[in-house]
Structure 1
Amino acid sequence: MRKILHGFILLLLCSPCCGWAAADQTEVRAVSIKSAVLAEQRELVVYLPAGYQQSNERYPVFYLTDGDIQGPHTAGTIDYLAKFEQMPPMIVVGIVNRQHRERDLTLTPKDQQKPNQPQNADQFLAFVENEVIPYVKQNYRTLDYQVLSGTSHGGQFAINALVKRPGLFNAIIAISPSLYWDNNQLLGLTEQALKQQRLQGRLFVSIANEEPTMTAPYQQFVDLLGRFPSDNLVVASQTFSDETHNTTVLQGQYVALKHVFAGWAIPEGQPQTLADLQAKFASRAKLLKTDLMIPEDKANGYGQWLQYLNRPQDALVLLQWNRTNYPQSFHAHTALINAYLHFKMAAEAKAAQKDALQSLKGLSTDQKAQLEALVI
C-alpha cells in the first residue's frame, strides 16, 4: 500500500519534472557593456531560466563573480533546485573577472586609500550597482529580489558589499572568502557594521579544508557574527572538510541556496489543503515582493491526492477553488467532476458537467465527448 501511494504521489506531483525537453533548458547569452565607472568594456554571461522565452513571468536575479567559470554549474544547480521547487527559478548574471580579478574583487589596502574616491572592490561594487543591475533590469524581466555570490576573492567582494551597501542584495553568499586580505581589514569593517546593526538579509558563508591563512580569519568572522546577532540578518555557516578551496564551490552554492530559500519548498510526502497551499504561496510572494497564485496543475494534483486519501471536504474545496480560478482549464473542470463522482455526489457532478460544457471555450470534439461521457 505504501509503495502504491508513493508511486501515486510521484506520478501526480513530479511528472512535469521527469521529462525535461531540450527547449526547457537554460539559455546562455554573452553580453558586453561599456562601463563609465571602470572606463573599460566589461563582459557578462547571462543565464536565462528554462521557459523564459515561453512566458511573461518576472524572475529574481542571482549575481555571480567569476561568472564565466562559476556560472555554468551555478545556473545548473539553480535550474535543478527550481525544477524540484526548492527555490524559484532565477536569472543568473555572471560577471567576468578574468583580466582584473584582484583589482576588481579585493579591498584597497588602508595605506593606499584615497578620501572619497572608491577604488578596487568599492569601485567595482559601484559598477555592479550603477551599471550592471540597471542594465539587467532594463533588458530582462526581473523581480525586486537580488542575490550576490562570490568565491575566494569573490567571497571577499560579496561580504564587502554586505557591509558597504546593506540592503542592495537580499542575500549574500561567500564561499571560502579571502578574509586575510590586507591584514584582515574586512573583519574590522564587519565588526563596526554589526555593532551598528546595519547588516540585513540572509548570509551564507563557508570554508573548505584549507590552510590556516584562510581558516583563521574565517573563524574570526563567524565568531563575530555570533557575538553580534541581529534579527535583520539571518546567518548560516558551514565547513566542507572533504573539499578543497577549488572544489568547494559546487557544493557550497547548493547548500547556500537551500539556506537563502529556506521555507520555499512544499513539504514532500504530505498532502496539502487549500489553506496550506495558500499560506505557502503567500510566503513566497512576500519574499519576492510579487503576486503569486497556486498553479492550476499543482492544485489539481494535491486535490486528487486528497481525493485518493478519501478526504472529501479538503479535496472538493481545493478542486472547486481551482475551477473558479482557472475557469478555462479543461483539467480543472474534469478533476472536479471526477471528484464528485468519486464521492458519489451525482447531482453535483451533473451540475459541474453542465457548467464545463457551457463555460469552456474552444472545446475540441474529443474534449466535448470526454466531458459528456463522464456523467451519463
Structure 2
Amino acid sequence: MKRILYGLLFIVCSQCNTWAVEAVFTTEDLVINSKKLDETRNLVVYLPAGYSKSDAHYPVLYVTDGDIQGPHTAGTLDYLAKFDQAPQMIVVGIVTPRETRERDLTLTSADKQDPEQLANADLFLAFVEQEVIPEVKARYRTLDYQGLAGTSHGGQFAINALVKRPGLFNGVVAVSPSLYWNKSQLLTLTETALKQGSLQGRLYISIAQEEPTMTEPFANFVALTKYYPNQQLAVISQTFSNETHNTTALLGQYYGVKYLFDGWAIPETPQTLADLQAIFATRSSLLKTALIIPEDRAAGYGQWLQYLNRQDDALTMLQWNRETYPQSLNAHLLLIKAYLHFDMEDKAHQALSEAMKSIKGLSTEQKAQLESLFL
C-alpha cells in the first residue's frame, strides 16, 4: 500500500524527473559602469536550471554581498524549486567589495545627511533601482516580482530599501541586520513609515545568538511592526539560538525565501481541482502574473484521486485537464481510463470520439493506442 502511494506521489512530482541531468544553475558575470556611483561595479547572475532551454520568465532575487551569499542562495532556491516550495528564480548577486561595503550598505548619520545629495546606502539603493534592475530586465526574461536579501550590513540595506522605496521589492529578507547603526537610526525611520502606513510586501527578519548590541535593536524593530501593523506589510521574525552572526546566513536565506513564498507549496496529500486552483491563484498573486495548473500536475493528482476511488473529484480533475490541454494525447487517455475504471463505458466511448475529433494530426499509432483501451 505504501509503495503504491509513494509511486502516485512521484507521479504528481513528475516535474522533478530531470534532476540528475540538470545543472543546479549557471552563472554569468556582468559589469556595470555606474554613473550613479561613478565607478565600475560587478554582478554575478545565477540563472536557474533549464533557463537556456526555456522561454519562461522568472522572478528575480537581488542579493547583496553577492559573490559570497549568491552561490548558497541560488543553491537553496534550486533545492526549494525542485520540491515545489518556491518558484525557480534568477538570483542577482550584487558584489560589495570589502573596501566599499560599509559605504555601500549603511546609512549616513542624520547630522551628516545632505538633503540635496544621496550618499551611502541611499545612493547605492538608487544605483540598484536605476541601473542594476533595468540592466537585468533588459538582458534576461524576468517577471515583475523582485525580492531583496541581505545579511548584517546587507540586512540593514534591505530594510532601508523597504522603508525608503516601498513597493520596489515585493519581498525582503534581512538576516542579522545591523540595526544598531547610527544609534538605531533605521528604527526611527521605520517607525515613521509604519505610522504613515506606507510599507508593503513581505518581510522576513532573523537574528542569531548575538550580543545585545544586535539583539536589542532587533527586538525593538519587531515590536514596532507589531505595534503599528500595516495592512499591506506582512512580517515574520525568527531567532536562531544555536547559530552565530557568521553562521546564520544559510538558515536565514532558506527560511526567508520560504516565507516570501508562503502559500506556494502544494500539500503532499490528495488535492481536488478546487484545491489546486486556489493554490495557483495564490501563486499568481505572489508573482503578479497569471499561472495555470500544468498538465502533468493535474494528471498526477487526477490519477491519485482515481486510485482512492474518489470518482467525482478524479473525473472533475481529468475532465478539466482534457479541456485545458485538448491537444494532449495523455490527457485524453487518462480520462478514458478513468471512465473505464469507474465502469462508465458510454462516457469512455464518448471521450474516445472526442479525442479522435479534437487532436490534430493524430497518427495511426496514436489512434491504435486509444482504441486499445477497449480491447
Q: Same fold (TM over 0.5)?
A: yes
Residue 16 in structure 1 maps to residue 15 in structure 2: yes
> How many Å separate the matches in 2 of 1:211 and 1:365?
73
Residue 30 in structure 1 maps to residue 29 in structure 2: yes
Higher RCO structure, 1 or 2 (CA under 8 Å, sep 6+) = 2
Contact 1:35 1:42 in 2 (8 A): yes
> How many Å separate the matches in 2 of 1:4 and 1:48?
36
Residue 176 in structure 1 maps to residue 176 in structure 2: yes
Code of the aligned partner of 1:248: T
The structural deviation recorded for 1:132 is 0.7
The aligned residue for residue 103 of structure 1 is: 103
Code of the aligned partner of 1:72: P
The RMSD of aligned alpha carbons is: 1.6
* Partner SS state of residue 100, structure 1: helix
* Partner SS state of residue 199, structure 2: coil
Please show how residues 62-77 of structure 1 align to structure 2 within 5 Å: 62-77=61-76
The structural deviation recorded for 1:15 is 4.0
Contact 1:336 1:352 in 2 (8 A): yes
The superposition leaves residues 176-215 of structure 1 with CA deviations (integer Å, 9 ceiling, x where unpaired) of 0011111211111111111221211111111111122211
State which drifts further: 342-351 or 8-17: 8-17
The structural deviation recorded for 1:19 is 4.5
Contact 1:353 1:375 in 2 (8 A): no
The aligned residue for residue 92 of structure 1 is: 91
The aligned residue for residue 244 of structure 1 is: 244
Q: How many aligned residue pairs are there?
A: 374
The aligned residue for residue 341 of structure 2 is: 342
The aligned residue for residue 280 of structure 1 is: 279
The aligned residue for residue 300 of structure 2 is: 301
* Partner SS state of residue 294, structure 1: coil
Distance 1:40 1:200, change over 3 A: same
Residue 205 in structure 1 maps to residue 205 in structure 2: yes
> How many Å separate the matches in 2 of 1:168 and 1:152?
21
TM-score computed with the length of structure 2 as normaliser = 0.95
- Structure 1, gaps ≥5 residues long: none
Code of the aligned partner of 1:82: A
The structural deviation recorded for 1:77 is 0.8
> How many Å separate the matches in 2 of 1:216 and 1:346?
70
The superposition leaves residues 66-96 of structure 1 with CA deviations (integer Å, 9 ceiling, x where unpaired) of 0110011101111111121111111111100
Code of the aligned partner of 1:66: D
TM-score computed with the length of structure 1 as normaliser = 0.95
The aligned residue for residue 164 of structure 2 is: 164
Contact 2:203 2:236 in 1 (8 A): yes
Code of the aligned partner of 1:310: N
* Partner SS state of residue 245, structure 1: coil
State which drifts further: 133-142 or 121-130: 133-142
The aligned residue for residue 258 of structure 1 is: 258
Residue 133 in structure 1 maps to residue 133 in structure 2: yes
> How many Å separate the matches in 2 of 1:78 and 1:56?
19
Distance 1:53 1:365, change over 3 A: farther
The superposition leaves residues 106-143 of structure 1 with CA deviations (integer Å, 9 ceiling, x where unpaired) of 11122322222100000000000001111111111111
Contact 1:107 1:122 in 2 (8 A): yes
State which drifts further: 15-24 or 163-172: 15-24
The structural deviation recorded for 1:364 is 5.3
Code of the aligned partner of 1:58: H
* Partner SS state of residue 52, structure 2: coil
- Structure 2, gaps ≥5 residues long: none
State which drifts further: 32-41 or 276-285: 276-285
Residue 43 in structure 1 maps to residue 42 in structure 2: yes
Contact 2:14 2:296 in 1 (8 A): no
Contact 1:147 1:172 in 2 (8 A): yes
Contact 2:24 2:75 in 1 (8 A): no
State which drifts further: 242-251 or 359-368: 359-368
Contact 2:335 2:351 in 1 (8 A): yes
The aligned residue for residue 326 of structure 2 is: 327
The structural deviation recorded for 1:5 is 4.8
Contact 2:209 2:240 in 1 (8 A): yes
- Percent identity, aligned pairs only? 65
> How many Å separate the matches in 1 of 2:15 and 2:161?
38
Contact 2:9 2:268 in 1 (8 A): no
The aligned residue for residue 185 of structure 1 is: 185
